[in-house]
Amino acid sequence: MSQETLQEEQSTIQESTKNIKTYPPVKGGSFLIENGKADDFFVAEDFDDEARMIGDLVKDFCIKEIQEPFFKNGRELQVTNEADKAEMLAILKRAGELGLCGVSIPEAYGGMGLDFKTNTLISTQLPHGFSFATTLGAQTSIGCLPIVYYGTEEQKHKYLPKIASAEYVASYALTEPTAGSDANSGKSKAILSPDGSHYLLNGQKIWITNGGFADVYIVFAKIDDDKNLSAFIVERDFEGFSVGPEEKKFGIKGSSTVQIYFDNCKVPVENLLGERQGGFKMALTILSGGRIKAGAGGVGGAIFAVNRSATYAKERKQFGKSIAEFGVIQAKIGDITTKAFAIEAALFRTSDLIDRQEANLLAAGASPNEAKIKAISEFTIEAAICKVKGSDLCCYAIDEAMQIHGGMGYAAETGLGMGYRDARITKIYEGTNEINAMLAVGELSKRALQTKELDLISAGKKIPTFLMSMSNPFRSKSDSSEQKRILQGIKNTFLYLTNAAGKHFKKALVDEQEIIMHLSAILQDAFVADCVYLKVQKLSTPTNSNKEKLAVQQQMVQLYLFDALGRVGHAAKEIIASFGTAGQQKTHSRMVRILLKPYAVNPKTLRRNVTKAVIEHGGYPF
Ligand SMILES: Cc1cc2nc3c(=O)[nH]c(=O)nc-3n(C[C@H](O)[C@H](O)[C@H](O)COP(=O)(O)OP(=O)(O)OC[C@H]3O[C@@H](n4cnc5c(N)ncnc54)[C@H](O)[C@@H]3O)c2cc1C
- Residue 391 near residue 292, CB atoms below 8 Å: no
**Is 468 in the same domain as 383?**
no
Q: What is the pLDDT of residue 337?
A: 98
d(CA 607, CA 400) in angstroms, rounded, equals: 15
* Distance in Å, CA 206 to ligand 1 centroid: 10
* pLDDT greater than 60 at residue 198: yes
List the residue whose alpha carbon is closest to atom 21 of ligand 1: 431
The string of DSSP letters for 37-89 reads -GGG---GGG--HHHHHHHHHHHHHHIIIIITTTGGGT----TTSHHHHHHHH
Note whether 315 and 401 are same-domain residues.
Answer: yes
User: Are 466 and 607 in the same domain?
Assistant: yes
pLDDT, tens only, 469-482: 777 666 667 888 89
| 462 Cα to the center of ligand 1, angstroms | 40
Name residue 12's amino acid: T
pLDDT at 16 over 70: no
Instruction: Say how many Å lie between the CA of residue 183 and the centre of ligand 1.
Output: 9
Helix (H) or strand (E) holding 268: strand 257-268
Task: Looking at the CA of residue 220, tell me the nearest atom of ligand 1.
Answer: 11
Nearest CA to ligand 1 atom 45: 435
Q: Is the pLDDT of residue 153 over 90?
A: yes
Q: Are residues 430 and 496 in the same domain?
A: no
pLDDT at 476: 63
Residue 252 has pLDDT above 80, yes or no: yes
Average pLDDT for residues 294-311, to the nearest whole number? 97
Average pLDDT over the chain, rounded to an integer: 95
Which candidate, 221, 216, 206, places its Cα nearest to that of 264?
221
Among 164, 529, 138, 535, residue whose Cα is nearest residue 352? 535
- Closest atom, ligand 1, to C-alpha of 211: 8
Q: What are phi and psi of 180, to 5 degrees?
A: -105, -95
Q: Is the same domain home to 411 and 480?
A: no
Q: Is 345 part of any domain?
A: yes
Q: What pLDDT is attached to residue 473?
A: 62
Average pLDDT over residues 73-84: 90
Task: Give, in order, the Cα–Cα distances in Å from 243 to each of 206, 217, 246, 280, 504.
Answer: 10, 11, 9, 23, 51
In a domain, 184, yes or no: no
For 449, other C-beta atoms within 10 Å of its C-beta total: 12
- The closest-lying atom of ligand 1 relative to the alpha carbon of residue 171 is 8
- Smallest Cα–Cα separation from 308: which of 390, 392, 398? 398
In this structure, the residue with its CA closest to atom 26 of ligand 1 is 180
Same domain, 369 and 463: no
The CA 159 to ligand 1 mean position distance, Å, reads: 28
Higher per-residue pLDDT: 464 or 372: 372
* Mean per-residue pLDDT, 387-411: 97
Q: Which residue from 429, 430, 513, 520 has its CB within 8 A of the most atoms of ligand 1, so it is best to mutate?
A: 429
Which pLDDT belongs to residue 351? 98
Residue 247 has pLDDT above 90, yes or no: yes
Average pLDDT of the segment spanning 303-321? 97
Single-letter code of the amino acid located at 184:
N
pLDDT at 526: 98
Q: Which atom of ligand 1 is nearest to the CA of 433?
A: 47
Which value, in Å, is the radius of gyration of the alpha carbons in the chain?
25
Helices (H) and strands (E) in the chain, counts: 20, 10
**Residue-wise DSSP of 548-587:** HHHHHHHHHHHHHHHHHHHHHHHHHHHHHTTSS-HHHHHH
Task: Using alpha carbons, select from 135, 104, 107 the residue that is nearest to residue 120.
Answer: 104
pLDDT of residue 414: 87
Burial of 394 (0-12, 13-18, 19+ CB in 10 A): buried
Q: Residues 6 or more apart from 562 whose CB is under 8 A from it?
A: 599, 601, 603, 606
Q: From CA 543, how far away is CA 535, in angstroms rounded?
A: 15
Nearest-atom number in ligand 1 for the CA of 205 is: 11
Exactly one of 246, 382, 400, 430 is catalytic; name it: 430
Same domain for 303 and 391, yes or no, is yes
Which atom of ligand 1 lies closest to the CA of 435?
47
Q: Whose CA is nearest to atom 23 of ligand 1?
A: 180
Question: Cβ < 6 Å from ligand 1: which residues?
Answer: 138, 171-175, 180-181, 207-209, 249, 252, 257, 425, 428-429, 431-432, 434-435, 513
Q: Assign 3-class secondary structure to 409-436.
A: HHCHHHCHHHHHHHHHHHHCCCCCHHHH
Instruction: Report pLDDT for 179.
Output: 97
Per residue in 156-197, pLDDT (tens digit) is 999 999 999 999 999 999 999 999 999 999 999 999 999 999
Query: In which band, very low, low, confident or very high, does the pLDDT at 415 lie, cut at 50, 70 and 90?
Result: confident
Which of 384, 403, 434 is the last residue in one of the domains?
434
**Region 134-158: what's the mean pLDDT?**
97
Of all protein residues, the one whose alpha carbon is nearest to atom 2 of ligand 1 is 207
Mutate to test the pocket of ligand 1, among 181, 260, 436 (most ligand atoms within 8 A of CB): 181
Average pLDDT of the segment spanning 427-439: 97
Distance of CA 113 from the midpoint of ligand 1 (Å):
31
Among protein residues, the one whose CA lies closest to atom 46 of ligand 1: 432
Q: What percent of the chain has pLDDT over 70?
A: 96
| Cα(437)–Cα(444) distance, integer angstroms | 11
State the residue range of the domain holding 586: 457-617
30 Cα to the center of ligand 1, angstroms: 29
Using one digit for the tens of pLDDT, what is the confidence trace for 576-621? 999 999 999 999 999 999 999 999 999 999 999 999 999 999 999 9
Instruction: Give yes or no: residues 525 and 467 share one domain.
Output: yes
Please tell me the distance between residue 431's alpha carbon and the centre of ligand 1 in angstroms. Answer: 6
Q: How far is CA 511 from CA 443, 508, 520, 573, in A?
A: 15, 6, 14, 19
- Residue-level pLDDT at 14: 60
Nearest-CA residue for atom 7 of ligand 1: 208
Q: Write out 593-605 in H/E/C secondary structure.
A: HHHCCCCCCCHHH
Residues of the chain with pLDDT > 90, as a percent, come to 90
HSE-up of residue 536 (Cα within 13 Å, Cβ side): 28
Residue nearest to atom 29 of ligand 1 (CA): 181
Identify which of 171, 207, 280, 512 to mutate to test ligand 1's pocket (most ligand atoms within 8 A of the CB).
207
> Measured in angstroms, how far is the CA atom of residue 388 from the centroid of ligand 1?
14
Q: 10 Å Cβ neighbour count for 511?
A: 9
Q: Which atom of ligand 1 is least distant from the CA of 434?
A: 47
224-240, pLDDT tens digit by residue?
999 999 999 999 999 99
Mean pLDDT across 12-25: 77
Q: Which of 142, 175, 430 to mutate to test the pocket of ligand 1 (most atoms within 8 A of CB)?
A: 175
Which residues 6+ apart lie within 8 Å of 605 measured at CB?
none
Between CA 220 and CA 200 the distance in angstroms is: 13
190, 205, 242, 265 from 187: Cα distances, Å: 10, 10, 17, 15
Spatial CA neighbour of 400 closest among 345, 348, 347, 340: 340
**How far is it, in rounded angstroms, from Cα 139 to Cα 143?**
5
Do 414 and 499 lie in one domain? The reply is no
**Residue 2 pLDDT greater than 60, yes or no:** no
Q: Is residue 27 part of a domain?
A: no
Query: What local confidence, expressed as pLDDT, does residue 347 receive?
Result: 98
Q: Which of 345, 333, 260 is nearest to 296 (CA)?
A: 345
Quick one: which H or E segment has residue 374? helix 368-378
Last residue of a domain, one of 400, 434, 468: 434
Identify which of 435, 439, 513 to mutate to test ligand 1's pocket (most ligand atoms within 8 A of the CB).
435
Both 419 and 462 in one domain: the answer is no
| Region 302-324 average pLDDT | 97
Q: Ligand 1: which residue has its CA nearest to atom 12?
A: 175
Question: pLDDT band for position 457 (50/70/90)?
Answer: confident
Asked if the structure places residue 17 within a domain, the reply is: no
23-35 mean pLDDT: 95
> How far apart (Å, rounded) are the C-alpha atoms in residues 454 and 378?
12
For residue 218, tell me if it sits in a domain: no
CATH of the domain at 381: 1.20.140.10
- Are 295 and 430 found together in one domain? yes
In the annotation, is 344 catalytic? no
- SS3 state at 97: helix
Looking at the predicted structure, is the pLDDT value of residue 12 above 80?
no
Asked if 381 and 517 sit in the same domain, the reply is no
Amino acid occupying residue 255: S
Q: What is the mean pLDDT of residues 488-510?
A: 96
Structural domain contains residue 565: yes
Is position 579 within any domain? yes
Could you identify the atom of ligand 1 that is nearest to the CA of residue 247? Answer: 1
The number of folded domains in the chain is 2
**Helices 380-404 and 368-378, packing angle to 10 deg:** 60
Q: Measure 178 CA to ligand 1 centroid, in angstroms.
A: 10
The sign of the dihedral angle between the CA atoms of 50, 95, 300, 406 is positive
Q: What is the pLDDT of residue 553?
A: 98
Domain-embedded: residue 126: no
Q: From ligand 1's centre to the CA of 184, what distance in Å?
A: 13
pLDDT of residue 524 exceeding 90: yes
